Structure 1
Amino acid sequence: MRTILLLLLCLLGSLSIFGQTSARYHRAQVHLEGRSLQELALLGLEVDHGEYVPQRHLTNDFSEVELHQITLAGFTYDILIPDVQDYYHNPARQQAYRSEARGGEPCPAGATSNVTPYPTPSNFHLGSMAGFFTYQEMLDILDSMRLLYPNLISSRQVVSPSIVTHQGRPIYWLRISDNPDTDEATEPEVLYTALHHAREPNSLSQMIYYMWYLLEHYETDPEVQFLVANTELYFLPCINPDGYIFNQEMEPDGGGMWRKNLRDNGNGTTGVDLNRNYGHEWAFDNFGSSANPSSATYRGPEAFSEPETQAVQAFCNAHTFVACLNYHTYGNLLIYPWGYSDTPTDDAPTFNTLADVMTLQNNFLAGTGTSTVGYTTNGDSDDWMYGETTTKPAIFSMTPEVGSGDGGFWPVREDIIPNCRASLWMNLVTAHTPHTAGVVQADPAQREIASTSLYFRYQLQRFGLTEGPLTVSLSSLQEDLLLVTEEPRVFNLAANAAVLDSFALSAVANIVPGTELRFLLQLSNGSFTRTDTVTRVFGGFLRTDIYTNNFTNLTPWTPDQGWDLTTEDFVSAPTSLTDSPGADYPNNSITTITLNEAITVGEAQEYRLQFWSKWNIEAFYDWAQLQFKINDGDWIPACGRYTVSGSAVQAPDQPVWEGQQANWVEEEIDLTTYLLPGDAVSLRFLLVSDEFVNPDGFYVDDLVLQERNMETVGTTTLLPRAAFSVHIVPNPAREQSQLRFRLSEDGSSTGHWQLYQAAGQLVTQGPLDLRNGYQEVDLATGNLPAGVYWLTAQADNQVITTQELVIIK
């Protein structure tokens, strides 16, 4: 009788779980007009994934039960994809849906992905579950790693024999190190986790990819050697084995939608959201987690009620982790504390810096929960890892959400490796975080090296938590053309500090304008040197400004309603152009401002339109655009450095400006392929809005249409620095600065000096008269916009110095 009763109870429990998980899921767009995301959160719905557009909608995968709740709460919705389980393991259907998504680069010749094309590890192969690994495949892979690389990775071990899941499974961990079977107390520790949520398999795939990458490249890659030899890298590959295996059993071809663990809640419901069960500010409110056991975000009866989170707690308390990445999917986001509230942490500058560096390649949207998904969460892993400091030190813990919205929780096989590759740089940066570490890049504002200003500019950002010197060096790969004339620079930067600096160059032969110059840019912390090959085009352009407009008046323009000058913000005083001075732009409007007379161009090898701009425009819906037409032709949308491809509800697949660009940037439009000598080009700006969100709008200043012609450039030589000096006082400058030129030895010289904007545009110039050995020049800077400028001096046909001037306001 007892046996029969026990079997009956097990059957009822299985039916309870099956009832919750066998319901169909649909991708639905829930309308939010006049409603808040918090109202949906109070229903216990998962609102931290999907596409959220403030005041408009939330698009996510919901069960039929959840959609019924949404209806009862008075919301309306549209079904975008019925039966997402079928969609997830049907590549043809998924590809059809993807074809309707926001697509393509609007400028075919423009920027490409910044993600380094890391080679796929030879041992990495896709799994049998729609390209993802089954639980047993994961265990077999981890065992294979140990078998092949016993000197680099530990065997998989359980966190604690006394902590097992509700179905009796342990939580496994591994360590990658040059002494993997020894916990070396002197080495900093870093942690990576995956699969808190059972339906997010790409979180595991990227981890396996990263682990194979470290193991296979240890012998040949100096970066991997440094990290593995000086850091203990720990991995918890599957936090939620019960839920993951349940999805595998329910949907062996992929597409399982179970999220939580398999706790029997005792009331006919199953599961706790493990990422709401941690102890820091657990149950802070009912928005960021739910007290309802049937909810997808059910936080459990108490903090750390679940064996899975207890295992993570015990593992962290037994170690001294400096940084951690808790991987999830999806959204292409990087989220960091605080999750439970909108307040920044005490270490917000460090989180900001780490996030900026981690997203350099993949361009993930980074920030707190509110600034990324528009939503707070409480009881999550990041808040506890960082916030709990009595049982362990604070951990700089962050959550990457890997993968785009159209791929969802189960992206197509073709996207798995690109998603893994997009995560690799974040993983490497995290491993560098405990050390003396920085990142150096060629300054993106310097797109060419001009003959009148022979220098290479770079940016250095410190992100490592350990103080120490960082050495930047530059060498030419074409020393028959160009030499770097300065020694490596050593920087001892404060935490989170950045610097913009340059290396002087010297041409040793005639260089044909347009020649691609190649350099090795290196950064060393004394133990590891990162080397990148960077290129810049040798300019030698003779620039002729055939049209300029600083927007001090609107006489040359015909504006629609709204467009006018503003004193709110500008690059060159006293005004700039904007669509709605002193106010947000209006709803349901299409406004333009058109140049009255077309500009006739002469003969040139290139035609470039440049202007400074900033904007705050509702993403995905509203948009700004510059249009031009040649002679009496049609209006053509202009593609710039900062334009993106218009969505289906904007100007589909056309270049537009949208979203937020808070600081002024120099936009550039290449019109070379459109113009012939004698053509007349007309210009107009336009802003288009709908009936919902309407922020500040679009700003323009200092518009220039430039003709460029190339000239052959001869040899230049740098005089010894000991023979010449220039001091800029004060520097940084506000209203005025003085240029003090000196010859340190007896002698005389004449020539000229020039001041350039960071992008290479000449600002002003003057004669250089050193016949008495010195000269002082008063330079008015009050009318120049804030930014970085470069002073170049030439004497007796020789480049003798290039120095930086910073203007602040």
Structure 2
Amino acid sequence: MTISKFILFSLAMMAGIVSAYSQASVYKRIALSQADYELARPWIEADHVHQQGDKVVVEMLAARLDKLHNSGLSYEVLVEDMTTFYQQQNREIKYRSRNTSCDEYNRPVPQNFKLGSMGGYLTLEELESELDDMHAKFPDLITKAQPVSTFKTYEGRPILWTAITGSTNQSGAKKNVLYTALHHAREPLSMHQLVYFMWYLLENYHSDPHVQHILDNTQLYFIPCVNPDGYAYNAAVSPEGGGMWRKNRRPVGNGNFGVDLNRNYGYQWGYNSTGSSDDPASDLYRGSVAFSEPETQAVKWFCENHDIFSALNYHSFGDYLIYPWGYMSEPTMEDKIYQSLARGLSFEKRIRYGTSRETVLYTTNGDTDDWMYGETQSKNKIYSMTPEVGPAEFGFWPPEDKIQMLCARELTQNLRMAMAPHGFVFMVPSSDPIFHGDQLQYRYYLYPVTTEDIAVQVKITPLTYNIKDYDEQLYTLGIGNKEEYQLDIDLRSGMQDGELVQFVMTLDNGTLITNDTMTYIYSNSDDGIDVLARSTDIENWVRSSSSSHEWGNTTSDFYTAPSSITDSPNGLYATAEENAIISAESYKIPGGEEVFLSFKARWDITYGEDFAQLSISTDGVNFTPLCGQLTTENFDYKGDISPVYTGIQKEWLTEKISLNNYKGQKVYFKWNMVSTSADARDGIFVDDMKITYSQTITSNRDNLFSENPYHLFPNPVSGGVLYLDSKSNDPSAAVDRYEIRNQLGQIVRKRRMHQTENHIRVQGLPAGLYYLNLMTSSQRLKAKKFVILP
């Protein structure tokens, strides 16, 4: 070939590449009635729909809008161009100023976690760099990312996988759990939250016994980008983010590109053309045959060559947790197991879980979960589920300033799936924070995250010397366990008002051990202020005049006889309205050391559309939503995020809300039941709502300790000496003495220190996790964790 012909050939190739990468499809966001949506489904072929009031919201190809328009059905265009919309939201600051700050948004962020250059998301090259960086920093925990066998995409890219695991010196074979993401190229949050999770595991293995137990007993596999060609295409046509390409990039004829990888798996492939499409131009095109694509072949090979017990195949968006069957409306024979798993995985988020039809309102066929679970000839059954991460209001490309929060939001779910093969159980306390009498009746629920019945030992280890005697129990839990348990803790005589009772609660199933530190306050008098504790208390509240339903007492469901308060005592709550109740008179918040608003609650509220919210006000006019242990996030299209009660909580639990910021003030409370959906439920039930407080607190109450300005290094420590570094110049912060406690809270070493000392000797202590308590001459500082290496 001559030089001139080579140049012409190269230019033609480059023009073809540019042309192929410049054909970005336009998607619109539309809204139509539920009835019209059902009629239009064959034309829309949308993969993501959600309710917004009495409307169904869809993001669909503009090219398919003509059929909808010609049908005569009514619809409203909400967003003209989704890519432009996604990019524009990162140029505005409206999302930054409307958040109600709650502890749930302040989860630990891995030190190495970072955002990417594509609208805040990692590009394919940046993802590969992250995987390399993980292996370079933690070669003993994570394998180097490598291709799945010899499979290559149409454009020649490998599908990369890696594994994270801990010590191999464990008896018996480890269980295997798989996490995948980016089957669909326009769902970057599905991948980015996995990167967050991976960094969290790596950085916390040597300091967190919980993470150690997981990785020492489990092999976690990751395929963070199943569809690299499609993802690279979105980066090419829309480098600022917002690319809307979904499928892979293989040419499929007549100028069409791509197969929907999540319709290309072999189990019930092509079952019908409602859950997938035989049209190569469709976003739901399933391919010519099952496993026609190298990407799905790679996942198939990987599962067949690794004995995977359970899997999370991440997608976005919608805040759902979906499990088989997808191809039909009927559930599997193990639906009770799936319900139990999903309840445990999504407990804090309260998102909707179920089959495809129960969650995203349509069926699918040829999807990943159905094949992983249903195919048992070439491999073992895999308990596979699909989380659709991120709220519907943020769509496929949530704004950059929400990425970190949304990634952190999936952390608990990821950790629990890693423990599911071992029969994990987590505990939710249901005791009031302040108690009376010579015995603490510690009440709690145990929620199993397991596929079979399991035995778990429950025991406590006292951290305070006022505990005289206590129970220990061994329970056998079924997958649907919902029972409230109680341990009786006897206390020594002469307890002082405000005295701390603290202990470690240990759950041990023979493989996994979890420890939680529990703290309660003793009061020698019952001086709590009733808010909504008695049936007559509601007489001091004003009901909203616009509501056709009214808050009131009900005797049909309560925690303490004879009644509780509910938003709709005569049946289901009303649809499409707000129903509020406001305290007519203010409550004076005491000036004790610790002040709580506590109450019992259970609820059944349509997730994502309806919610109950508790707010507080100092003037009776301007109310601020309250954050509690049981609240979750509510998102709306204006960008607001606020704490609410939504989803389903069938058992009565104890809510505890600190009122320390309102000490000495007069406040008003407001309960509001907000319904925007057409799906009326039972609403919320509230009982024993009161303000409790303690006038005096013992000096060893951990969450009242002064802030600790000292940094410990090296941490982990292996040389026998732990150094203290402080930027504080306050002489009163000089350390006077210290205590070292082990994981069970037992003091293993203590002594006084000279003010000039800046180190603590830890020789002779076994390897493991410890807590260092530093005391000055006048105060006790918050405990710091450190790890001693073998």
- TM-score norm. by structure 1 comes to 0.70
Does structure 1 conserve the Cα–Cα contact (< 8 Å) formed by 2:30 and 2:79? Answer: no
Query: 1:472 corresponds to which residue?
Result: 458
Query: 1:395 corresponds to which residue?
Result: 382
Question: 1:65-76 to 2 correspondence within 5 Å?
Answer: 65-76=63-74
Counterpart Cα distance in 1 of 2:386 and 2:161: 19
Q: Give the secondary structure class of the aligned counterpart of 1:43.
A: helix
Does structure 1 conserve the Cα–Cα contact (< 8 Å) formed by 2:393 and 2:637? Answer: no
Q: State the one-letter code of the partner of 1:43.
A: W
Q: Given the alignment of the two structures, is residue 531 of structure 1 paired with residue 520 of structure 2, yes or no? A: no
Q: Give the secondary structure class of the aligned counterpart of 1:523.
A: strand
Note closer, same or farther for the CA distance 1:429–1:336 as it changes in structure 2 (3 Å cut): same
1:693 paired residue among 648, 655, 678:
678
Counterpart Cα distance in 1 of 2:386 and 2:442: 36
Q: Give the secondary structure class of the aligned counterpart of 1:379.
A: coil
Q: Given the alignment of the two structures, is residue 483 of structure 1 paired with residue 467 of structure 2, yes or no? A: yes
1:503 paired residue among 476, 482, 487:
487
Does structure 1 conserve the Cα–Cα contact (< 8 Å) formed by 2:439 and 2:490? Answer: no
Q: State the one-letter code of the partner of 1:695.
A: A
Does structure 1 conserve the Cα–Cα contact (< 8 Å) formed by 2:161 and 2:221? Answer: yes
Query: 1:426 corresponds to which residue?
Result: 413
Does structure 2 conserve the Cα–Cα contact (< 8 Å) formed by 1:121 and 1:209? Answer: no
1:235 paired residue among 215, 222, 228:
222
Query: 1:24 corresponds to which residue?
Result: 26
Counterpart Cα distance in 2 of 1:663 and 1:523: 21
Q: State the one-letter code of the partner of 2:230.
A: G
1:451 paired residue among 424, 429, 437:
437
Question: 1:463-612 to 2 correspondence within 5 Å?
Answer: 463-465=449-451, 469-479=455-465, 482-483=466-467, 485-486=469-470, 488-495=472-479, 497=481, 500-508=484-492, 511-514=495-498, 517-543=501-527, 550=535, 569-571=556-558
Question: 1:357-372 to 2 correspondence within 5 Å?
Answer: 357-372=344-359
* Structure 1 gap ranges (5+): 715-809
Q: State the one-letter code of the partner of 1:280.
A: Y
Query: 1:339 corresponds to which residue?
Result: 326
Does structure 1 conserve the Cα–Cα contact (< 8 Å) formed by 2:142 and 2:164? Answer: yes
Q: Give the secondary structure class of the aligned counterpart of 1:454.
A: strand
Query: 1:159 corresponds to which residue?
Result: 148
Instruction: Give how far 1:505 is off.
Output: 2.9
Note closer, same or farther for the CA distance 1:8–1:229 as it changes in structure 2 (3 Å cut): same
Counterpart Cα distance in 2 of 1:189 and 1:603: 52
How many percent identity over aligned positions?
34
Question: 1:67-216 to 2 correspondence within 5 Å?
Answer: 67-90=65-88, 92-96=90-94, 104-105=99-100, 112-113=103-104, 117-122=107-112, 124-161=113-150, 163-177=151-165, 186-216=173-203
Query: 2:246 corresponds to which residue?
Result: 259
Does structure 1 conserve the Cα–Cα contact (< 8 Å) formed by 2:633 and 2:642? Answer: yes
Counterpart Cα distance in 1 of 2:635 and 2:414: 31
Query: 1:321 corresponds to which residue?
Result: 308
Q: Give the secondary structure class of the aligned counterpart of 2:193.
A: helix
Note closer, same or farther for the CA distance 1:484–1:462 as it changes in structure 2 (3 Å cut): farther
Does structure 2 conserve the Cα–Cα contact (< 8 Å) formed by 1:616 and 1:697? Answer: yes
Does structure 1 conserve the Cα–Cα contact (< 8 Å) formed by 2:48 and 2:58? Answer: no
Q: Give the secondary structure class of the aligned counterpart of 1:171.
A: strand
Instruction: Give how far 1:588 is off.
Output: 7.3
Q: Give the secondary structure class of the aligned counterpart of 1:322.
A: strand
Question: 1:629-778 to 2 correspondence within 5 Å?
Answer: 693=678, 695-696=680-681, 698=683
Query: 1:289 corresponds to which residue?
Result: 276
Query: 1:353 corresponds to which residue?
Result: 340
Query: 2:752 corresponds to which residue?
Result: none
Note closer, same or farther for the CA distance 1:505–1:576 as it changes in structure 2 (3 Å cut): closer
Counterpart Cα distance in 1 of 2:395 and 2:140: 38
Cα RMSD, aligned residues only: 5.0
Query: 1:749 corresponds to which residue?
Result: none
Instruction: Give how far 1:622 is off.
Output: 6.7
Q: Give the secondary structure class of the aligned counterpart of 1:133.
A: coil
User: Which one is further off, 633-642 or 254-263?
Assistant: 633-642
Q: State the one-letter code of the partner of 1:359.
A: S
Query: 1:759 corresponds to which residue?
Result: none
Note closer, same or farther for the CA distance 1:300–1:450 as it changes in structure 2 (3 Å cut): farther
Note closer, same or farther for the CA distance 1:238–1:509 as it changes in structure 2 (3 Å cut): same
Instruction: Give how far 1:243 is off.
Output: 0.7
Task: Report the number of matched residues.
Answer: 686
Instruction: Give how far 1:386 is off.
Output: 0.7
User: Which one is further off, 250-259 or 390-399?
Assistant: 250-259
Note closer, same or farther for the CA distance 1:112–1:540 as it changes in structure 2 (3 Å cut): farther
Does structure 1 conserve the Cα–Cα contact (< 8 Å) formed by 2:25 and 2:61? Answer: yes
Residue by residue, what CA displacement relative to the aligned partner does 1:501-525 show, whole Å, maximum 9, x if unpaired?
3333344475554555443222234
Q: State the one-letter code of the partner of 1:358.
A: L
Does structure 1 conserve the Cα–Cα contact (< 8 Å) formed by 2:21 and 2:236? Answer: no
Does structure 2 conserve the Cα–Cα contact (< 8 Å) formed by 1:563 and 1:577? Answer: no
Counterpart Cα distance in 2 of 1:594 and 1:298: 53
Note closer, same or farther for the CA distance 1:620–1:605 as it changes in structure 2 (3 Å cut): same
Counterpart Cα distance in 1 of 2:473 and 2:207: 27
Residue by residue, what CA displacement relative to the aligned partner does 1:604-624 show, whole Å, maximum 9, x if unpaired?
889999987766666677777
Instruction: Give how far 1:697 is off.
Output: 5.6
Note closer, same or farther for the CA distance 1:73–1:277 as it changes in structure 2 (3 Å cut): farther
Instruction: Give how far 1:556 is off.
Output: 12
Q: State the one-letter code of the partner of 2:42.
A: L
* Structure 2 gap ranges (5+): 699-790
Larger radius of gyration: 1
Note closer, same or farther for the CA distance 1:354–1:647 as it changes in structure 2 (3 Å cut): closer
- TM-score norm. by structure 2 comes to 0.71
Note closer, same or farther for the CA distance 1:240–1:608 as it changes in structure 2 (3 Å cut): closer
Residue by residue, what CA displacement relative to the aligned partner does 1:315-343 show, whole Å, maximum 9, x if unpaired?
21222110111122223332222222332
User: Which one is further off, 194-203 or 632-641?
Assistant: 632-641
